[in-house]
Structure 1
Amino acid sequence: MNQLYVYEKESTAFFTKTDGNISSPAGFFAGGLHCGIKRKRPDLGWLYSAVPAQAAAVYTTNQFQAAPIQVTKESIVESGKLSGIIVNSGNANSFTGSEGLRHARLMRKWFAAQIGVNENQVGVASTGVIGEFLPVEKIETGIRRIDKGEGASHPDLFEKAILTTDTFQKRACATLEIGGKTVTVAGCAKGSGMIHPNMATMLAFMTTDAKVEAAALQNLLKQTVDETFNMITVDGDTSTNDMVIVMANGLAGNDTLSYAHPDWKKFAESFAYIARELAKQIARDGEGATKLVEVCVTGAETEKEAQAAAKTVIGSNLVKAAIFGADANWGRIINAIGYSGVQVDEQALSVRIGGISVVEKGMPASYSEDEAHAYLKENDKICMAIDLGAGTCQGTAWGCDLTYDYVKINATYRS
C-alpha cells in the first residue's frame, strides 16, 4: 500500500514557498474598494500589470457562461495579452442577456480608460447572485476612484473584494531561479460554495513575472487546472462564472520559457504548487465545512481512472456526512468507488482512513472503531488512501465535510 501523502508532496527543490501575494511578481499591482454592490464589504477589485502580459485562461463548462466570461474571451482572443482585470463580487452578471453583456463591456471600457490601456487588453470577472443586473452606475463611480501606481497597490483589498460566502482569503506565492534570474509565481482565489469544477462559483487569478511562450502557458494552465481546480468539490454544482486566469509579464528578464527550455520543469512545478494550494484552500473553505478531506487513489491503470475514483468518493454526500459525524463508515467509500465508472477488482481493493486500514484486499480489516472515530473527530484534515491494486497511476481529490451550516447558508443566500 502506498504511503498516504505520496501524491501530495511538493517538489520544493525547484522553488521556495513565500508569504507573498498576487502583486509580489514584478510589475503587478492590485487593490479593492466598496462601491455599493454589497452593504459594507469590498466588492470591486482590480489587478493590472505595468506592461501587457501574456494571458491564458480556462473557463467553466456550464453552457450558460456569464457575460464577463464572454468579454474576457473576446479580449484574450483579440490581443493574446492582458494589462488588467476588473472584478466585482455580490452580483454574477449571469443570465442577464444582451444588457448584461453590455454592462460587462462597460466595465472593461471604464477600467481600460482608468489605467490607460486598450479595451481588448482588459479582462472582466464577476461573482455572486445569478439573474440580477449590475448596478453599473455604482461600478463606474468605483472604477473612477481607482488609483494607478505602485503606492496604490493593496493586494489584501483585492483578495477581500472578490469574496462572497468565503470565510477567509486565499493566496499562495513561490520564487525560483531561472537562468540566473529570480522568478515569482503567485495567485489568489475565491470559492466556498457551488464548487464542482469542470472549472464552481470559483475565481482564481495567477500572476508571474516570467516570460512564457503563449502556447506553452495555455497548455500548462489547462493541464494544471485538470490536476488541481478540477479535482476539488464542495457540493457538486458547477457555476456559470468559473474562471482561472494567468498573466505573465516577463519583467523577471528570463529567456522565454517553453517546453524546450531546460528550466521548464522548475517553472511548471512552481506553477502547479500555486494552483494546488489555492484549490485546497477553496476545498477547506467549503460552505459550513469543518474539515478538509483529501482522497488519494493509487494503483489505477490510468491517471484518468485514478482521478475519477478520487473525485467520486470526495463528492459523495454520504461520505461527506459520515466524516462530519466522525463515523468511519467505509461502506460508503467503496459504494462510491463502485459507481465511479472505474472497473475495480474487489479482491484487490484496499482502503485506509488516516493510518487506519479498514479494507484489505477486498475484505473488512480488523481495526478499532474508537480509534477511527477519534481520528475523524479530532483532525481538521482527513486523509483517505485507496489502492485499486491494478496499476501504477494515481490521483488526488480534495473536498470537505457536509454540515448543517451548509443548508443554512444556502437557504438564506439572497437574504
Structure 2
Amino acid sequence: MKKILPKGFQASGVASGIKKNGKKDLGLIFSRAPARVAAVFTKNRVKAAPVLLDKERIRRGVCRAIVVNSGNANCCTGDQGIRDAKTIAAFVASGLGLSEELVLVSSTGVIGELMPIDKIEAAVPDLIELLSTDGVLNFARSIMTTDTLPKVVTRQGQLDDQTFTVTGIAKGSGMIRPDMATMLCFICTDAEVAPDLLQNILFAETEQSFNRITIDGDTSTNDMVLIMANGLSNIKIEHPKQKKYFQRTLNEVMITLAKELVKDGEGATKFIEIEVKSAGSDHDAHQIADTVANSSLVKTAFFGEDANWGRIIAAVGRAGVPVKPAMIDIYFDDVMMVKKGLGCGKVAETAVTKVLKKNQFSISIDLHMGNGRATVFTCDFSTDYVKINADYRS
C-alpha cells in the first residue's frame, strides 16, 4: 500500500554535510500531539551517546520528536558525545517550541568521531521548515548508510469502524544479527496505547522480527527500535481483542521491514529462510537456526551455489544444544538433501543446486526430537560484502 504517515505525524530529511558525498544525512519525525513512546535498544555493552540519552528520556513515556543523523555514530566520544546529543535535541526543541526532554536523538555511521555540531545547527532550520506529511521517504533516505534503498512499510487496520495507521521506517544493511545490530527502526502510529502496554508489545514483536535476522553476525552500538503512538485516530488499544489486532498489524510492519533489511544486506545476492523444527524447545530451535544463519562457511556456500550440506549439519552440531545426528533431515525448499543424517546422493544434489540458483529459497532442518521450532532470515556472503566494508571509511 502507499507509504504514508499516520495522522498528526510529519517527517523531513536534508543534507547537512555530515556525509562526504553530499547525500541526505539528517532526518526528523515530529508529532503534532504528545506521543506515547517505547523503545528497544542494542544489547552491545558499548553504547552510543544517543542510546544512553534516549534510555533516560523514554522513562517519561512521552515524546514529540526524534532527530536522526547518518554518517557519524556519536559513539566512543566520551562526555562530549553526550553533550553533543543533548545539543542536537536542543536545536530541534528550540525550533519546534518544545521542551528538550520531548526530543529523542539517534545516530548511525562511523564510530569514534565527534559530531560536526556546527553543520547540524545550520541544517536544523531547513529540517524543520521541510516537515511534511509527505516527507517519509526523505526521512528514510536521510538515515541510510550502506543501504541501497529506503525501507518504509505502512499498514492500516480498522477497529470500531475507525482506521488506524502504522508506518515503520528502517535502515540497515550490515552489522546485523539478532539482538539487533546496525539497524534503526522508527515506527509511528495514530492509535492510542498506554506506555507499559506499548513497551510490552514492541518487545514481543522485536523478538519475532528484528531479532530473527542476520546479515553478518555483528551487533552494533547504536541500534534501536522505537515506536511513537499519538492517539489521533481516536482508537484506544486496551482490550485483549484490540491488543491482538493492533499487535498483528504491527507485526506485519516489523516482519516486512526485517525481511527488507536482509534482502538489502551488504553485497547480498540471495535471501534465505532458515527453519528449524521438531527441536527439544523453541530456544534450542532458535539457537540452531541462528548458528546456521551466521555461519560464514554456510553463507559463502550459498553465494557459490554449492550444495555443501555438510557445512549446515556441522553448524547444527556446534550450536550448543542437544541433537541426534542420525535423526536429522535437511531440505532445500522441498528437496530433501539429508535423510537421517546421511546425504541423499547425486540426484538430490543436482536438484538442490537448481534451488541455490534462485535469489530466494528456504532451508528446513527437521531434528525429530520435540515440538520446538524457530525461523531466522539471512543472506549470502559475497565478494562485494568484503569490498563494501573494506572501503567503508574512505
TM-score bracket for the superposition, by shorter chain length: over 0.9
Residue 58 of structure 2 aligns to which amino acid in structure 1? I
Segment drifting more, 148-157 vs 215-224: 148-157
Question: Is 1:330 paired with 2:330?
Answer: no
Percent identity, aligned pairs only? 43
Residue 59 of structure 1 aligns to which amino acid in structure 2? F
Q: SS of the counterpart of 2:222?
A: coil
What is the aligned partner in structure 2 of residue 320 from structure 1? 299
Question: Is 1:20 paired with 2:3?
Answer: yes
* 1:336-368 CA distance string (max 9 Å, x none): 111112211223221101111011233322443
Which of 145, 160, 175 aligns to 1:194? It is 175
Q: SS of the counterpart of 2:148?
A: coil
* 1:256-280 CA distance string (max 9 Å, x none): x23x432221111111111111111
What is the aligned partner in structure 2 of residue 113 from structure 1? 94
* 1:36-68 CA distance string (max 9 Å, x none): 011310000000111111100011111111001
Matches within 5 A, 1:2-401: 18-21=1-4, 23=5, 25-38=6-19, 39-77=21-59, 79-147=60-128, 151=132, 153-255=134-236, 257-258=237-238, 260-366=239-345, 367-377=347-357, 379-401=358-380
* 1:188-244 CA distance string (max 9 Å, x none): 100011112312111111111111121111011111111211111111111110111
Contact 2:12 2:130 in 1 (8 A): no
Segment drifting more, 40-49 vs 337-346: 337-346
In the aligned structure 1, how far is the partner of 2:134 from the partner of 2:95? Answer: 15
Q: What are structure 2's unaligned runs of at least 5 residues?
A: none
What is the aligned partner in structure 2 of residue 410 from structure 1? 389
- CA change 1:53–1:152 in 2 (3 A) is closer
In the aligned structure 2, how far is the partner of 1:339 from the partner of 1:111? Answer: 49
In the aligned structure 2, how far is the partner of 1:148 from the partner of 1:219? Answer: 35
Q: What are structure 1's unaligned runs of at least 5 residues?
A: 1-17
Contact 1:75 1:120 in 2 (8 A): yes
Contact 1:29 1:149 in 2 (8 A): no
Residue 300 of structure 1 aligns to which amino acid in structure 2? A
In the aligned structure 1, how far is the partner of 2:213 from the partner of 2:106? Answer: 21
Aligned residue pairs total: 392
In the aligned structure 2, how far is the partner of 1:69 from the partner of 1:124? Answer: 8
Q: Moved runs in structure 1, 4+ residues, more than 6 A?
A: none
TM superposition shift of 1:116: 1.9
Residue 139 of structure 1 aligns to which amino acid in structure 2? I
Contact 2:74 2:115 in 1 (8 A): yes
Q: SS of the counterpart of 1:145?
A: helix
In the aligned structure 2, how far is the partner of 1:113 from the partner of 1:348? Answer: 64
Residue 168 of structure 2 aligns to which amino acid in structure 1? G
Contact 2:41 2:51 in 1 (8 A): yes
In the aligned structure 2, how far is the partner of 1:106 from the partner of 1:272? Answer: 34
- CA change 1:238–1:81 in 2 (3 A) is same
Q: SS of the counterpart of 1:368?
A: helix
In the aligned structure 2, how far is the partner of 1:252 from the partner of 1:149? Answer: 24
TM superposition shift of 1:180: 2.2
Contact 1:197 1:230 in 2 (8 A): yes
After superposition, the CA RMSD in angstroms is 1.4
Contact 1:301 1:391 in 2 (8 A): yes
* 1:303-339 CA distance string (max 9 Å, x none): 2222111111111001100000000111111111111
Residue 359 of structure 2 aligns to which amino acid in structure 1? D
Segment drifting more, 171-180 vs 86-95: 171-180
In the aligned structure 2, how far is the partner of 1:121 from the partner of 1:388? Answer: 50
Contact 1:85 1:123 in 2 (8 A): yes
- CA change 1:30–1:196 in 2 (3 A) is same
Residue 175 of structure 1 aligns to which amino acid in structure 2? Q
